[in-house]
Amino acid sequence: MHKPRNYLIPALFTFTFFMSPYAFADEEGTFFGQDATGKWIVGIKAGVMENNTEGFGDATNAGIVLGYRFSRAIGGIGGSSSVEFEATTSVSDGDISGTGSEWDVNTYALFFTYATPGKVYFKGKLGGMYSDVSSNAAGVGGNASGFSGGLGFGLKIGENGKIEAEYTGVTGDNDLSFWSLGGLYEF
Q: What pLDDT is recorded for position 34?
A: 60
Give buried/exposed letters for 117-133 (b at 16+ CB in 10 A, else e): eeeebebebebbbbbbb
For residue 29, is it within any domain?
Answer: no
Tally of structural domains, the chain? 1
- Residue 9, classified by CB atoms within 10 Å of its CB into exposed (0-12), middle (13-18) or buried (19+), is exposed
pTM across the whole model = 0.79
The yes-or-no verdict on residue 11 having pLDDT over 60 is no
Q: Specify the length of the chain in residues.
A: 187
CATH code, domain with 124: 2.40.160.20
pLDDT digit string, tens, across residues 121-161: 999 999 999 999 999 887 788 899 999 999 999 999 999 99
pLDDT digit string, tens, across residues 89-98: 999 999 999 8
For residue 106, is it within any domain?
Answer: yes
What is the DSSP-derived secondary structure letter of residue 97? T
Identify the band that residue 78 occupies on the pLDDT scale cut at 50, 70 and 90.
confident
Q: Per-residue pLDDT averaged across 78-100, rounded?
A: 94
Q: How far apart are CA 105 and CA 116, in angstroms?
A: 31
Domain coverage including residue 109: 36-186
For residue 62, is it within any domain?
Answer: yes
Report CA-CA distances (Å) from 12 to 20, 119, 149. 12, 30, 23
Cα 59 off chain centre by: 17
For residue 20, is it within any domain?
Answer: no
For residue 154, is it within any domain?
Answer: yes
